Protein backbone atom coordinates (compact mmCIF):
# COMPACT_ATOMS: atom_id res chain seq x y z
CA UNK A 1 0.00 0.00 0.00
CA UNK A 2 1.36 3.41 -0.89
CA UNK A 3 1.76 6.22 1.62
CA UNK A 4 -1.13 8.30 0.22
CA UNK A 5 -3.48 5.31 0.52
CA UNK A 6 -2.44 4.77 4.14
CA UNK A 7 -3.04 8.45 4.87
CA UNK A 8 -6.51 8.25 3.36
CA UNK A 9 -7.36 5.19 5.42
CA UNK A 10 -6.26 6.92 8.64
CA UNK A 11 -8.27 10.04 7.78
CA UNK A 12 -11.38 8.02 6.91
CA UNK A 13 -11.42 6.09 10.19
CA UNK A 14 -11.38 9.35 12.16
CA UNK A 15 -14.67 10.51 10.69
CA UNK A 16 -17.89 9.29 12.33
CA UNK A 17 -20.32 8.20 9.62
CA UNK A 18 -23.86 7.18 10.60
CA UNK A 19 -26.76 5.75 8.61
CA UNK A 20 -29.93 6.74 10.44
CA UNK A 21 -31.92 3.60 11.22
CA UNK A 22 -35.36 4.59 9.91
CA UNK A 23 -36.72 1.05 9.74
CA UNK A 24 -37.99 1.75 6.22
CA UNK A 25 -34.92 0.93 4.14
CA UNK A 26 -32.53 -1.90 3.41
CA UNK A 27 -29.36 -0.09 4.40
CA UNK A 28 -26.90 -2.85 3.46
CA UNK A 29 -26.11 -1.53 -0.02
CA UNK A 30 -25.54 2.00 1.33
CA UNK A 31 -23.32 0.67 4.11
CA UNK A 32 -21.24 -1.43 1.70
CA UNK A 33 -20.83 1.54 -0.68
CA UNK A 34 -19.46 3.66 2.18
CA UNK A 35 -17.21 0.89 3.50
CA UNK A 36 -15.74 0.32 0.02
CA UNK A 37 -14.42 3.89 0.21
CA UNK A 38 -12.51 3.04 3.38
CA UNK A 39 -14.89 4.53 5.93
CA UNK A 40 -16.28 2.88 9.03
CA UNK A 41 -20.04 3.33 9.33
CA UNK A 42 -22.60 2.83 12.09
CA UNK A 43 -26.35 2.24 11.74
CA UNK A 44 -28.21 3.86 14.61
CA UNK A 45 -31.22 5.81 15.84
CA UNK A 46 -29.60 6.64 19.18
CA UNK A 47 -29.67 10.46 19.63
CA UNK A 48 -26.16 10.51 21.10
CA UNK A 49 -24.78 8.65 18.09
CA UNK A 50 -26.75 10.64 15.53
CA UNK A 51 -25.97 14.09 16.94
CA UNK A 52 -22.24 13.44 17.30
CA UNK A 53 -21.79 12.07 13.77
CA UNK A 54 -19.68 13.94 11.21
CA UNK A 55 -21.72 12.75 8.22
CA UNK A 56 -25.18 11.20 8.12
CA UNK A 57 -27.24 9.27 5.58
CA UNK A 58 -31.05 9.14 5.54
CA UNK A 59 -32.16 6.29 3.24
CA UNK A 60 -35.74 5.32 2.56
CA UNK A 61 -37.91 3.00 0.49
CA UNK A 62 -41.68 2.60 0.24
CA UNK A 63 -44.17 5.44 0.55
CA UNK A 64 -43.90 8.78 2.31
CA UNK A 65 -46.83 7.95 4.57
CA UNK A 66 -45.21 4.72 5.79
CA UNK A 67 -41.80 6.34 6.16
CA UNK A 68 -43.06 9.32 8.16
CA UNK A 69 -45.02 6.94 10.38
CA UNK A 70 -41.79 5.01 11.03
CA UNK A 71 -39.87 8.21 11.83
CA UNK A 72 -42.57 9.28 14.28
CA UNK A 73 -42.67 5.85 15.94
CA UNK A 74 -38.88 5.95 16.41
CA UNK A 75 -38.82 9.57 17.66
CA UNK A 76 -36.68 10.53 14.69
CA UNK A 77 -38.59 13.54 13.35
CA UNK A 78 -37.27 16.06 15.87
CA UNK A 79 -33.91 14.30 15.99
CA UNK A 80 -33.26 14.67 12.25
CA UNK A 81 -34.21 18.35 12.51
CA UNK A 82 -31.52 18.85 15.18
CA UNK A 83 -28.69 17.62 12.93
CA UNK A 84 -26.09 20.31 12.22
CA UNK A 85 -23.57 18.23 10.24
CA UNK A 86 -24.02 17.28 6.56
CA UNK A 87 -26.86 14.81 6.00
CA UNK A 88 -27.63 13.09 2.69
CA UNK A 89 -31.14 11.82 2.00
CA UNK A 90 -31.31 9.06 -0.62
CA UNK A 91 -34.35 8.45 -2.85
CA UNK A 92 -37.36 8.53 -0.47
CA UNK A 93 -34.97 9.91 2.14
CA UNK A 94 -34.52 12.97 -0.06
CA UNK A 95 -38.28 13.34 -0.53
CA UNK A 96 -38.80 13.31 3.24
CA UNK A 97 -36.72 16.50 3.45
CA UNK A 98 -39.53 18.37 1.66
CA UNK A 99 -42.58 20.11 3.10
CA UNK A 100 -45.14 17.51 2.10
CA UNK A 101 -45.76 14.61 -0.26
CA UNK A 102 -48.61 13.35 -2.41
CA UNK A 103 -47.33 9.79 -1.91
CA UNK A 104 -49.96 8.59 0.51
CA UNK A 105 -49.85 4.85 -0.05
CA UNK A 106 -53.08 3.30 1.21
CA UNK A 107 -54.23 6.32 3.22
CA UNK A 108 -56.52 7.84 0.57
CA UNK A 109 -55.79 11.22 -0.99
CA UNK A 110 -54.28 12.92 2.04
CA UNK A 111 -51.20 15.10 1.66
CA UNK A 112 -48.46 13.74 3.92
CA UNK A 113 -46.55 16.31 6.03
CA UNK A 114 -42.81 15.64 5.82
CA UNK A 115 -39.75 17.05 7.60
CA UNK A 116 -40.01 20.53 6.00
CA UNK A 117 -36.24 20.93 5.85
CA UNK A 118 -36.47 22.31 2.32
CA UNK A 119 -39.21 24.43 0.80
CA UNK A 120 -40.55 22.05 -1.85
CA UNK A 121 -43.42 19.62 -2.16
CA UNK A 122 -43.18 16.11 -3.60
CA UNK A 123 -45.60 15.44 -6.44
CA UNK A 124 -46.38 12.57 -8.79
CA UNK A 125 -44.29 12.77 -11.95
CA UNK A 126 -46.16 13.95 -15.02
CA UNK A 127 -44.50 11.34 -17.22
CA UNK A 128 -46.20 12.31 -20.49
CA UNK A 129 -46.99 8.72 -21.44
CA UNK A 130 -43.74 7.22 -20.15
CA UNK A 131 -44.12 4.30 -17.71
CA UNK A 132 -44.12 4.81 -13.96
CA UNK A 133 -42.23 4.18 -11.84
CA UNK A 134 -39.31 5.90 -13.50
CA UNK A 135 -36.89 3.00 -13.22
CA UNK A 136 -33.41 2.77 -14.67
CA UNK A 137 -30.49 4.93 -15.74
CA UNK A 138 -30.90 8.62 -16.47
CA UNK A 139 -28.45 11.46 -16.97
CA UNK A 140 -28.55 14.50 -14.72
CA UNK A 141 -27.63 18.17 -15.10
CA UNK A 142 -25.78 19.35 -11.98
CA UNK A 143 -25.17 22.90 -10.85
CA UNK A 144 -21.80 24.19 -12.05
CA UNK A 145 -18.94 23.63 -9.61
CA UNK A 146 -21.07 22.18 -6.83
CA UNK A 147 -18.78 20.14 -4.55
CA UNK A 148 -21.24 17.21 -4.43
CA UNK A 149 -20.55 16.64 -8.15
CA UNK A 150 -16.79 17.17 -8.13
CA UNK A 151 -14.97 14.95 -10.65
CA UNK A 152 -18.25 13.57 -12.05
CA UNK A 153 -18.26 14.07 -15.85
CA UNK A 154 -21.08 16.03 -17.46
CA UNK A 155 -23.84 13.75 -18.71
CA UNK A 156 -23.10 11.01 -16.16
CA UNK A 157 -25.90 8.52 -15.58
CA UNK A 158 -27.40 7.55 -12.22
CA UNK A 159 -29.91 4.85 -11.26
CA UNK A 160 -33.47 5.95 -10.41
CA UNK A 161 -36.54 4.14 -9.03
CA UNK A 162 -39.43 6.50 -8.21
CA UNK A 163 -42.86 7.79 -9.22
CA UNK A 164 -42.80 11.03 -7.21
CA UNK A 165 -40.35 13.90 -7.27
CA UNK A 166 -39.70 17.49 -6.23
CA UNK A 167 -40.08 20.10 -8.96
CA UNK A 168 -37.06 22.16 -9.91
CA UNK A 169 -36.95 25.07 -7.45
CA UNK A 170 -34.76 27.79 -5.92
CA UNK A 171 -35.85 29.25 -2.60
CA UNK A 172 -32.44 30.33 -1.33
CA UNK A 173 -33.73 33.84 -0.67
CA UNK A 174 -36.17 32.34 1.86
CA UNK A 175 -33.53 29.89 3.18
CA UNK A 176 -35.62 27.06 1.77
CA UNK A 177 -32.97 25.36 -0.32
CA UNK A 178 -32.63 24.80 -4.04
CA UNK A 179 -32.24 22.27 -6.81
CA UNK A 180 -28.54 21.50 -7.34
CA UNK A 181 -29.12 18.93 -10.11
CA UNK A 182 -32.06 18.25 -12.38
CA UNK A 183 -33.16 15.37 -14.59
CA UNK A 184 -35.79 14.84 -17.28
CA UNK A 185 -38.49 12.16 -17.43
CA UNK A 186 -41.57 13.53 -19.12
CA UNK A 187 -40.89 16.68 -17.10
CA UNK A 188 -37.90 18.26 -15.42
CA UNK A 189 -37.55 17.35 -11.75
CA UNK A 190 -35.06 17.78 -8.93
CA UNK A 191 -32.41 15.07 -9.01
CA UNK A 192 -30.44 16.60 -6.12
CA UNK A 193 -31.26 19.25 -3.54
CA UNK A 194 -29.46 21.26 -0.88
CA UNK A 195 -30.88 23.23 2.02
CA UNK A 196 -28.10 24.31 4.38
CA UNK A 197 -26.44 21.17 5.76
CA UNK A 198 -29.19 18.95 4.34
CA UNK A 199 -28.57 17.33 0.95
CA UNK A 200 -30.69 14.89 -1.01
CA UNK A 201 -30.43 12.81 -4.17
CA UNK A 202 -33.45 11.28 -5.88
CA UNK A 203 -31.32 8.54 -7.46
CA UNK A 204 -29.49 5.69 -5.74
CA UNK A 205 -25.76 6.54 -5.68
CA UNK A 206 -25.01 3.17 -4.07
CA UNK A 207 -26.36 1.51 -7.26
CA UNK A 208 -24.87 4.00 -9.71
CA UNK A 209 -21.44 2.53 -10.44
CA UNK A 210 -18.42 4.86 -10.57
CA UNK A 211 -20.41 8.11 -10.69
CA UNK A 212 -22.39 7.07 -7.62
CA UNK A 213 -19.27 6.06 -5.71
CA UNK A 214 -17.70 9.41 -6.57
CA UNK A 215 -20.76 11.28 -5.31
CA UNK A 216 -20.70 9.41 -1.99
CA UNK A 217 -16.98 10.14 -1.71
CA UNK A 218 -17.62 13.83 -2.43
CA UNK A 219 -20.29 13.96 0.26
CA UNK A 220 -18.02 12.31 2.81
CA UNK A 221 -15.30 14.84 1.99
CA UNK A 222 -17.51 17.95 2.24
Note if 91 is an active site residue: yes
Note if 146 is an active site residue: no
Note if 114 is an active site residue: no
As a whole number of angstroms, the distance between CA 209 and CA 204 comes to 10
As a whole number of angstroms, the distance between CA 194 and CA 119 comes to 10
As a whole number of angstroms, the distance between CA 140 and CA 131 comes to 19
Pick the catalytic residue: 91, 114, 134, 162? 91
Instruction: List, in order, residues 6 or more apart from 107 with CB less than 8 Å away.
Output: 65
As a whole number of angstroms, the distance between CA 114 and CA 127 comes to 23
Cβ–Cβ under 8 Å, residues 115 and 70: no
Catalytic residues: 91, 204, 206
Amino acid sequence: MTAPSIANTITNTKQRVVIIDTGCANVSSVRFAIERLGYQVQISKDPQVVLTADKLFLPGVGTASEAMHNLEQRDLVSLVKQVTKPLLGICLGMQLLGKESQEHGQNGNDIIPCLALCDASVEKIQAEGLPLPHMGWNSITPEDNHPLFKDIPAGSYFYFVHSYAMPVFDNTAQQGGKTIASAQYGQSFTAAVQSGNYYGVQFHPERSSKAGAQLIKNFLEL
